[in-house]
Structure 1
Amino acid sequence: MSAVFAAPSRMRNPARGFTLIELMISLTIGLVILAAALSTFSTSSRSSQLSQAETQLNEDGILALNLIQQQLKQAGYSQQLIPGSGATVMGNFAGSAVRGCDGAFTDAAAAFDKLSCTGKGSDAIAIRYEATTDNTMPTGTDTKLATNCLGNGINALTASQVSPPPTPAPGAPPPGNYALADNRYLVTDASTAPMLSCRGMEKRDAVNAIGTPQPLLANVESMRILYGVANRPSIELAATYDPQRHQIVKYLDAAGVDAQVSSGVLADLAEDRWGRVLSVRMCLQMRSDRPVRDVPAGGFAYKRCDNTDHTGTDGYLRRTFTTTVLLRNRMITP
């Protein structure tokens, strides 16, 4: 008897490709997922860029304030150590510690007592104090010289201004010439590449002269300054507290300081007025290093130093930073 073999039956689920409809549905789903991923990436990238710009803006603003604060804290400084006693007295510098302008200096290289103002643009300020190798950073080539705001050496050529000069200890040398720091801070290139610049007294062979301006910090768009004044001038550190000389009674802009009526204490009217300044209130308007992409409708809102609201449409972030610094070499507490 022969065996009978049955023919194999046809497979019920034969292998086959995607239909056109299935392929279109798959592509659509894939495109939706890709679009969502790209949108998430774009939002995250924009947020990251904005966060980076804000962080850099804050760091620049704090750095700029700290830089000027350090100079203002030294304004009016002058000290002489009496050898062997450990005591200190005012030894050399006496006079106005600061002098400012509402707007730029007409000639920022002029002598301190000849500085005048344009009344336009950002404010400017000149800061003076006795410079030593202890309160300034000596340069590599002039390690024995005090330096200005740019690190350039200053010759010790200014005669003691204190009248009468302090009496030295027995056997100690009399007060001699000293290095006078006279640093002028101003905002340059405000409309194109804004930055905080400085020019200061520096050595020119055997003499001193105000040097050329050099940038200190970029992205400073504007500087506004108010001055806390007393009723009478205090042009050097005193031994006792006097409310007429050491109590701030009001804050004025530079024009307001210049407009004060003489107190009758000093014959030099400019010294009488600016010798009353005991504190400086400073506001810096900072700009981000570069514009941010995809500026929101209406731009970025910010407040200026005069506390008015403004909106920038150029893509740059802006923020103001404010500080008040007491001139500790003029201020005496009760």
Structure 2
Amino acid sequence: MMHTSSTAHSAFNSYIFSRMQSRERGATLIELLVGLTIGLLTISVGLGAIMVSRGVTTTVNDTTTLQQQASYAFRVIGQQLRQAGGRPLNTAADPRDAATFVQPTAVTLSGLPPIAGLDAPTASQFIISMRYVNASESIYPSPPSSTPIEGYLIRDCLGSNSGIASAPIVLNELRKNGTDLECSNSTGNVQPIISNLVDLRIRYLQQKLNLADKQPQFRYASAANLGPTDWPEVYGIEVCLELEGEQVIDTVGASYTKCDGTTATRGNKLRMVFKNIFHIRNHAWPKAIS
């Protein structure tokens, strides 16, 4: 009996020792490779999700920026274009008479078209010029006499007004300078309005009277199609802005339509085209342009 008990005890110890050796053996090479593969796949999926999220965020940011710039540019340009050819009413005239318009002192309007432009301006030229008669407005309560300029609600493209004495005609001119859209005012100050500009195109809407049937005729015209006597007949302006984002994005196979109507690839950057049409106030402007 003693011998049997000793044998059983020895067998039990051998079993425990073998289990301990099995536990201390660790992972095999195959198990290690499988673990590494699973880990790499997890990291790859995570990195892919991060890159997709970053690309979407970049596109959204660029889109928002370009939309904001286009909106601001159209607000500034539209304010000046709608005023082009504008003349204030002469409130001192007898109200029983036909309405008369203020004639600026020492300025001949017939020699200054309300709208004028160039289809292919040089770097120093402006693509479009806009003019209207300067005027002060009644503001209540009246501004302090030391700041008479605050009595002017009319503002040029740079947000200023130097007064009737120095600028009886408000002049605003636009041009593309590199990637900036610049505006010049009556005093010759030039400042950028927006950046990221790739292209700026302008078309003119002209209304002519057909002498044969006395019916108005409408047409789109370029600056080259408009002679000296045609500019006062321009009643609307179509402005097209092409803007480019700053971040590099994946645009493989993507294309867009440019301001000139042609199709082009995006070139790994976000490109957006914005168009707007503005009607102008040139009906009181003299027809005879010298």
Q: Which interval holds the TM-score relative to the shorter structure?
A: 0.7 to 0.9
Which structure has the bigger radius of gyration?
A: 2
Deviation (angstroms), 1:309: 0.6
The alignment's TM-score, normalised by the length of structure 1, stands at 0.65
Q: Do 1:131 and 1:147's aligned partners in 2 also have CA atoms closer than 8 Å?
A: no
Match of 1:281 in 2: 238
Secondary structure at 2:62 match in 1:
helix
Match of 2:52 in 1: 43
Match of 1:170 in 2: none
Partners in 2 of 1:37 and 1:291 — Cα distance?
22
Which of the numbers 180, 184, 193 marks the counterpart of 2:173? 184
Encode CA deviations 1:132-160: one digit per residue, 9 max, x unaligned: 4559xx9x8943566432234324138xx
Q: Do 1:154 and 1:180's aligned partners in 2 also have CA atoms closer than 8 Å?
A: no
Partners in 2 of 1:84 and 1:256 — Cα distance?
39
Match of 1:318 in 2: 271
Deviation (angstroms), 1:198: 0.8
Deviation (angstroms), 1:31: 1.0
Deviation (angstroms), 1:107: 6.0
Partners in 2 of 1:90 and 1:36 — Cα distance?
72
Output the aligned Cα RMSD. Answer: 3.5
The alignment's TM-score, normalised by the length of structure 2, stands at 0.73
More helix by proportion, 1 or 2? 2
Q: Quick one: structure 1 residues 229 and 188, their matched pair in 2 at CA, closer, same or farther if it must change by over 3 Å?
A: same
Q: Quick one: structure 1 residues 153 and 64, their matched pair in 2 at CA, closer, same or farther if it must change by over 3 Å?
A: closer
For structure 2, the 5+ residue unaligned runs are 285-290
Q: Quick one: structure 1 residues 82 and 105, their matched pair in 2 at CA, closer, same or farther if it must change by over 3 Å?
A: farther
Q: Do 1:50 and 1:292's aligned partners in 2 also have CA atoms closer than 8 Å?
A: no
Partners in 1 of 2:63 and 2:180 — Cα distance?
18
Partners in 2 of 1:106 and 1:19 — Cα distance?
73
Structural mapping, 1:151-230, within 5 Å? 151-157=159-165, 179-189=168-178, 194-202=179-187, 211-230=188-207
Match of 2:288 in 1: none
Secondary structure at 1:151 match in 2:
coil
Match of 1:150 in 2: 158
Deviation (angstroms), 1:213: 2.2
Deviation (angstroms), 1:23: 1.8
Secondary structure at 1:250 match in 2:
strand
For structure 1, the 5+ residue unaligned runs are 109-122, 159-177, 203-210, 233-242, 259-269
Q: Quick one: structure 1 residues 28 and 102, their matched pair in 2 at CA, closer, same or farther if it must change by over 3 Å?
A: same
Q: Do 2:158 and 2:191's aligned partners in 1 also have CA atoms closer than 8 Å?
A: yes
Structural mapping, 1:112-123, within 5 Å? none
Q: Do 2:176 and 2:200's aligned partners in 1 also have CA atoms closer than 8 Å?
A: yes
Q: Do 1:147 and 1:154's aligned partners in 2 also have CA atoms closer than 8 Å?
A: no
Q: Quick one: structure 1 residues 216 and 226, their matched pair in 2 at CA, closer, same or farther if it must change by over 3 Å?
A: same
Q: Do 2:172 and 2:185's aligned partners in 1 also have CA atoms closer than 8 Å?
A: yes
Q: Do 2:86 and 2:133's aligned partners in 1 also have CA atoms closer than 8 Å?
A: yes
Deviation (angstroms), 1:221: 1.9
Encode CA deviations 1:257-284: one digit per residue, 9 max, x unaligned: 12xxxxxxxxxxx2x2211111111211
Partners in 2 of 1:48 and 1:327 — Cα distance?
39
User: Percent same amino acid at aligned positions?
Assistant: 25
The residue type equivalent to 1:281 in the other structure is E
Match of 1:249 in 2: 218
Which of the numbers 305, 313, 319 marks the counterpart of 2:259? 305
Partners in 2 of 1:13 and 1:75 — Cα distance?
96
Q: Quick one: structure 1 residues 278 and 292, their matched pair in 2 at CA, closer, same or farther if it must change by over 3 Å?
A: same
Q: Quick one: structure 1 residues 148 and 330, their matched pair in 2 at CA, closer, same or farther if it must change by over 3 Å?
A: same
Secondary structure at 2:259 match in 1:
coil
Q: Quick one: structure 1 residues 149 and 63, their matched pair in 2 at CA, closer, same or farther if it must change by over 3 Å?
A: closer
